């Protein structure tokens, strides 16, 4: 006799009785239309980092105040972008933790803590920039080079897939991108003689669906742009979340620098796809097109800046566009369907190129390569901008960028490869030149590259930006100020000192019907709202 105990046991409810809110692929596609939630690293596939929330405006932003802060003891840089869903923030805390925080109070709902091996290899700190989300799951790339899935309600580990052996210099630091049934990650480690790649894993099982090497192997297109066997350890790492066009089904990955960084002698050639954007088919990982910003880079100018997608009329034609402000000092406008180069222009002082030719290739100025004695070149090694997010506002049609002005002295030295150790080909010096560095938040017309306004900062900063439909741009500084600028004029309308450097990009989200702004600074997350 089949007897059911369901009725007999008081209070048992099937899990499906009141299915909790789930994030679908459709939600991710329309993320910018539900500004209450912040569903991926960029707040949407477009890479625009724009919030549709309007409660906080240039008029009332002066009343903005701290709602809560979350702090963790931390010796690492806190680069996380929180995700926000239905009143909960999900953050990564370096080196390997994930927290769920109540968006109203900051109370910790759960914590996942990854046991990491002691000898992790990371050039620039044991950092992590955030999570990906789908259904009831969160996804993370870890410093020991795994992609993992956690249960969003409890933080329980659901699966972990090893990308590669971390001890050879590989690591995961980016917030994964989730598209349909795949979670995409890639490997950092461009300073350690790695061979970069991009991976896609099945969200359900963690099985790897495809891998795209950012350095082509023998017989593949672009392989001949690497001398000898330099392709085996040419870097071209992946450490920033790509943007994605659901209609074209293309993912736009910014690829890191070639290695050794400052000595290109062993890797003569253009070194594809280092310092490029590659447009990959989201289902297959197949390359549809690529565009290289800095062929044969010897200044460490990764192209890991955000590829910002927007549509506009360009020269009388409605186009699907991609704009990016590259570390090499130029901004670029591309057609994102075909990869066609449309225009480029200087946005900070640079002196390494005479200009950009009609194909989009830089015309190098002689005498600007690193030398044994050291050679001063603009922009700085950290670039005209870097990985921190720019923001595009569909209301002002402007793109806002954190800029750094100045030069570095680039030194060329020997480069010997030993697995798991730094493979740099010498280094750079900033002591003398850094005194003259300055920073700014600048607004540009993405179609012409023309500067519309500038908000000066005394020093360069590694803080990114978020724009809001209320007409604001939020920015951060290296000396701990978090500020609100008028999106139309750049005028500073509000600021607060958070007491520690901001090395992260802010977000805006809604909770209980109110607009909030959140940013990581020092070892804390700070959340602001109007009273």
Partner 1 sequence: MRAFLPFAAAAAVLCATAAARTHETNPFGSAEDFAVGKRLYRVNCGVCHGMEGKTGRGARLARKVHRRANTDAEMFDLIEKGVPGTDMPGLWLGEDDIWKILLFVRTFEKTAEEPCAAAPGDAAQGKDIFFNRAACAACHTVGMGGGRLGPDMSFAGASFSREQLRVALVEPHRDVAERYRVGRVETQDGKKREGVVMAENGYSLFLMDRSEETLGFQKAELKSFQISRESLMPSYAGVLSAADMDHLLAYLCSLRGSEKGAAQ
* Interacting residues with partner 1 between 298 and 317 (CB under 8 A): 300, 302, 304
| Shortest distance, position 403 Cβ to partner 1, whole Å | 15
Options 43-51, 147-155, 331-339, 355-363: segment touching partner 1 (CB under 8 A): 147-155
Residue closer to partner 1 by CB (options 15, 363) is 15
Site string for partner 1, 241-260 (x = CB under 8 A): ----------------x---
- Residues 398 and 153: their CA atoms lie apart, in Å, by 38
Positions in 85-114 near partner 1 (CB under 8 A): 87-88, 102, 104-105, 107-110, 112-114
Beta bridge partners of 210: 200
By three-state DSSP, how is residue 63 classified?
A: helix
Residue closer to partner 1 by CB (options 114, 233) is 114
- Strand ranges, E, within 152-275: 157-162, 177-179, 182-186, 197-202, 208-213, 243-245, 250-254
| Shortest distance, position 324 Cβ to partner 1, whole Å | 15
Options 8-16, 272-280, 371-379, 486-494: segment touching partner 1 (CB under 8 A): 8-16
- Residues 286 and 404: their CA atoms lie apart, in Å, by 35
By three-state DSSP, how is residue 113 classified?
A: strand
Q: Is 401 in the site for partner 1 (CB under 8 A)?
A: no
| Shortest distance, position 408 Cβ to partner 1, whole Å | 8
- Residues 423 and 426: their CA atoms lie apart, in Å, by 8
Strand order across the beta sheet in which 524-529 lies: 65-71, 524-529, 514-521, 507-511
Tokens of 54: 């309007």
| Shortest distance, position 458 Cβ to partner 1, whole Å | 16
Q: Is 8 in the site for partner 1 (CB under 8 A)?
A: yes
| Shortest distance, position 67 Cβ to partner 1, whole Å | 13
| Shortest distance, position 293 Cβ to partner 1, whole Å | 16
Q: Is 263 in the site for partner 1 (CB under 8 A)?
A: no
- Residues 462 and 173: their CA atoms lie apart, in Å, by 16
Residue closer to partner 1 by CB (options 400, 428) is 428
Residue closer to partner 1 by CB (options 106, 506) is 106
Q: Is 5 in the site for partner 1 (CB under 8 A)?
A: yes
Site string for partner 1, 360-389 (x = CB under 8 A): --------------------xxx---xx--
| Shortest distance, position 348 Cβ to partner 1, whole Å | 15
Tokens of 7: 């009725």
* Bond prior to 136 in cis (omega within 30° of 0): no
Q: Which of 246, 80, 309 is nearest to 175 (CA)?
A: 80
What phi and psi, each to the nearest 5 degrees, are found at residue 154? -125, -15
Residue closer to partner 1 by CB (options 141, 356) is 141
- Residues 515 and 234: their CA atoms lie apart, in Å, by 45
Q: Is 513 in the site for partner 1 (CB under 8 A)?
A: no
Q: Which helix (H) or strand (E) holds 275?
A: none
Residue closer to partner 1 by CB (options 17, 363) is 17
Q: Is 160 in the site for partner 1 (CB under 8 A)?
A: yes
Positions in 112-131 near partner 1 (CB under 8 A): 112-126
Q: Could you give the residue numbers annotated as active site?
A: 300
- Residues 344 and 356: their CA atoms lie apart, in Å, by 7
- Residues 90 and 186: their CA atoms lie apart, in Å, by 21
Tokens of 476: 């951060």
Q: Is 65 in the site for partner 1 (CB under 8 A)?
A: no
């Amino acid at each position: 006799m089949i007897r059911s105990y369901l009725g007999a046991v008081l209070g048992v409810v099937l899990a499906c009785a009141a299915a909790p809110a789930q994030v679908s692929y459709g939600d991710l596609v329309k993320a910018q239309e539900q500004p209450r939630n912040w569903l991926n690293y960029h707040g949407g596939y477009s890479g625009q980092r724009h919030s549709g929330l309007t409660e906080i405006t240039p008029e009332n932003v002066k009343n903005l105040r701290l709602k809560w802060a979350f702090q963790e003891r931390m010796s690492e840089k806190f680069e996380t972008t929180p995700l926000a869903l239905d009143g909960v923030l999900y953050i990564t805390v370096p080196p390997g933790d994930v927290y769920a925080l109540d968006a109203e109070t900051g109370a910790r709902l759960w914590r996942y803590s990854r046991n990491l091996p002691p000898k992790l290899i990371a050039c620039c700190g044991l950092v992590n920039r955030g999570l990906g989300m789908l259904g009831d799951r969160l996804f993370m790339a870890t410093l020991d080079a795994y992609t993992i899935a956690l249960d969003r309600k409890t933080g329980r580990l659901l699966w972990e897939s090893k990308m590669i052996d971390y001890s050879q210099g590989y690591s995961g630091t980016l917030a994964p991108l989730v598209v349909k049934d795949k979670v995409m990650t890639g490997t950092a480690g461009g300073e350690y003689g790695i061979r970069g790649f991009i991976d896609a894993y099945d969200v359900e099982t963690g099985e790897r669906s495809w891998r795209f090497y950012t350095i082509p192997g023998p017989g593949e297109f672009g392989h001949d742009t690497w001398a000898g066997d330099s392709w085996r350890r040419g870097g071209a790492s992946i450490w920033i979340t790509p943007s994605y066009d659901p209609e074209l089904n293309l993912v736009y990955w910014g690829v890191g620098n070639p290695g050794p960084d400052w000595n290109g002698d062993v890797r003569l050639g253009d070194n594809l796809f280092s310092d490029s954007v590659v447009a990959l088919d989201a289902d297959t990982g197949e390359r549809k097109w690529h565009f290289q910003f800095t062929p044969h880079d010897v200044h460490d100018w990764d192209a890991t800046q955000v590829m910002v997608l927007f549509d506009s009329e360009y020269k009388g034609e409605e186009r699907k566009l991609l704009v990016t402000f590259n570390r090499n000092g130029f901004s670029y406008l591309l057609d994102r369907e075909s990869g066609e180069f449309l225009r480029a222009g200087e946005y900070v002082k640079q002196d390494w190129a005479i200009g950009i030719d009609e194909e989009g290739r830089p015309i190098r100025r002689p005498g600007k390569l690193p030398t044994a004695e050291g050679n001063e070149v603009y922009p700085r090694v950290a670039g005209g901008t870097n990985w921190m997010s720019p923001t595009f506002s569909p209301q002002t049609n402007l793109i806002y960028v954190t800029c750094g002005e100045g030069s570095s002295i680039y030194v060329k030295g020997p480069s010997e490869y030993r697995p798991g150790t730094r493979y740099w080909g010498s280094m750079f010096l900033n002591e003398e030149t850094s005194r003259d560095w300055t920073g700014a938040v600048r607004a540009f017309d993405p179609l012409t590259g023309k500067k519309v306004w500038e908000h000066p900062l005394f020093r360069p900063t590694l803080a990114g930006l978020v724009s809001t439909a209320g007409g604001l741009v939020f920015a951060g500084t290296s000396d701990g100020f978090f500020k609100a600028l008028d999106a139309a004029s750049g005028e500073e309308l509000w600021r607060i000192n958070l007491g520690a450097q901001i090395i992260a990009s802010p977000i805006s989200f809604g909770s209980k019907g109110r607009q909030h702004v959140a940013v990581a600074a020092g070892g804390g997350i700070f959340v602001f709202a109007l009273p």
